[in-house]
Amino acid sequence: MPEQHGDKSQEPTPHRRQKAREEGHVAKSQDLASAVLLLVGTAALWLLGGPLAGFLDDYSRQHLGGEAWVRVDPDLVVVQCRSALSALTRYVLPLMAVMMVAGIAAHLAQSGFLFLPGRLSPDITRIDPLRGFGRLASITNIARLGFGLFKVVVIAAVSFVSLYGHRETILALPGMAAETVAVYVARIMLSTMLQVALALVVLAILDYAFQRWKYEQDLRMTPQEVREELKNLEGDPHIAARRKVVQRQLVLNRISAEVPKADVVITNPTELAVAIRYDPEAMAAPVVVAKGAGLLAQRIRRLALQHGIPIVERKPLAQALYREVEVNHPIPHERYAAVAEVLAYVYHLKGKGIPAPEDRAA
């Protein structure tokens, strides 16, 4: 089947994911963070709100009970305000700290830490009326509006069910004392808020799942986009292939030029080939003039046979030289004895003598 240019059939690459994240495009649900804040705040008020309720009760009794008094004294007003703020701070700060931690955790759990200073720069296009109307009339915003109306219906339904469950208590409130009414009203309100928060968390989780699915769909790529990204990251594949051909040709040319000058080729026996040259007058130690594996090893062996270069099979030595010594570098000192043995054997076949590396060093 022919490729369709607009068919997003490819999974997003890591580079595309990273680029989207750097631009601030992540799977995120604002409703989830709000629902978690409401749930945690209600739960914290339920569990930690006792001391706050006690303070408000005592404060109300102190200022609204007993004999009435009015004094227009600035110093007294300042003292009263400081006392109230100090007490409220002691009871309210723990609740605010719990909610702040919950809000930060809700955002980090969805998208992780994002540092986007570019988002602080002004965007003139955001004040374009035509584009603004287009954003308002987009499918995404229409779907969000529908989801918002659905949430209103869910909140109303949960609230009705919760209040209906307390109908007997609510109908009996007019005959109760003021303190008892306050306690029952607070309990009913917190219970209803907790149930609404739980319902909103469930809806927010569904919304986050949808946002995650939509995010993955938006990141998917067409085959053409994948090719363009590979071209931008690694260069034009045709140029890269041409570069490999040129590099391979340079290696073959160097092998063709250096192998005929070698004294011996050490093999493994067919997988590896290392060509060694030793000139006692110009070199302090034998030098690896060419090496290769696979096809290059076959090329070195073929050139050695064509030019009468002895081929000696020494598996451990060939592996060590291929792994440890680069081309045009002398062999390491710990390989002197093994290489000298091979060179001595080759020179013996040719009827020549070879000075030992120790003598040369001396």
| Residues in the chain, total | 362
Question: b or e along 100-133 (b: 16 or more beta carbons within 10 Å of the residue's beta carbon)?
Answer: eebbeebbeebeeeeeeeeeeeeeeeeeeeeeee
- Residue 362: the pLDDT is 38
Give the residue among 261, 326, 260 at the shortest CA–CA distance from 288. 326
Q: What is the pLDDT of residues 36-88, one digit of tens each?
A: 888 888 888 888 777 877 777 777 777 666 665 656 677 777 777 787 788 77
Answer left, alpha or beta for residue 65, where phi above 0 means left and psi between -120 and 50 means alpha: beta
Confidence at 184, pLDDT banded by 50, 70, 90: confident
Beta bridge partners of 330: 287
Q: What angle do CA 36, 42, 43 make, to 5 degrees?
A: 90
Compare 48 and 334 and report the one with higher pLDDT. 334
Q: What residue spans define the domains of the chain? A: 14-116+124-230, 240-361
Confidence at 227, pLDDT banded by 50, 70, 90: confident
Q: What single letter denotes the amino acid at residue 66?
A: G
Residue 153 pLDDT exceeds 90? yes
Residue 267 parent element (H or E): strand 264-267
Cα distance between residue 344 and residue 361, in whole Å: 17
Structure token digits, residue 153: 């219906």
Confidence at 360, pLDDT banded by 50, 70, 90: very low
Beta bridge partners of 292: 273
Compare 356 and 150 and report the one with higher pLDDT. 150
Structure token digits, residue 135: 């954003």
Confirm if 10 and 220 have CB atoms less than 8 A apart: yes
For the whole prediction, is pTM greater than 0.75?
no
Compare 157 and 84 and report the one with higher pLDDT. 157
**Percent of the chain having pLDDT more than 70?**
83
Q: What is the pLDDT of residues 251-303, one digit of tens each?
A: 888 888 888 888 899 998 778 999 999 888 888 889 999 998 888 888 889 99
Compare 81 and 133 and report the one with higher pLDDT. 81
Architecture of domain 240-361: 3-Layer(aba) Sandwich (3.40)
Would you tell me the crossing angle of helices 30-48 and 50-64 to the nearest 10 degrees? Answer: 60
- Residue 243: the pLDDT is 74
Residue 82 parent element (H or E): helix 74-111
Confidence at 124, pLDDT banded by 50, 70, 90: low
Residue 174 pLDDT exceeds 70? yes
Mean pLDDT (whole number) for 217-224: 85
Among 186-200, 234-248, 327-341, the minimum mean pLDDT is found in 234-248
What contacts 74, CB < 8 A, 6 or more positions away? none
- Residue 358: the pLDDT is 46
- Residue 4: the pLDDT is 43
Residue 127 pLDDT exceeds 60? yes
Q: What single-letter DSSP state applies at residue 257? A: H
Confidence at 353, pLDDT banded by 50, 70, 90: low
Confidence at 236, pLDDT banded by 50, 70, 90: low
Confidence at 207, pLDDT banded by 50, 70, 90: confident
Residue 160 pLDDT exceeds 90? yes
Mean pLDDT (whole number) for 22-43: 84
Give the residue among 30, 29, 19 at the shortest CA–CA distance from 219. 19
- According to the per-residue pLDDT averaged within each range, which of 83-97, 295-309, 340-354 is highest? 295-309
Could you give the count of Cα atoms lying within 13 Å of 251 in the half-sphere of its Cβ? Answer: 16
- Residue 6: the pLDDT is 53
Q: Are strands 264-267 and 311-313 parallel, antiparallel or unpaired?
A: parallel
């569990």: which residue's tokens? 47
Residue 206 pLDDT exceeds 80? yes
Mean pLDDT (whole number) for 11-39: 83
Instruction: Quote the mean pLDDT of the chain.
Output: 80
Beta bridge partners of 272: 293
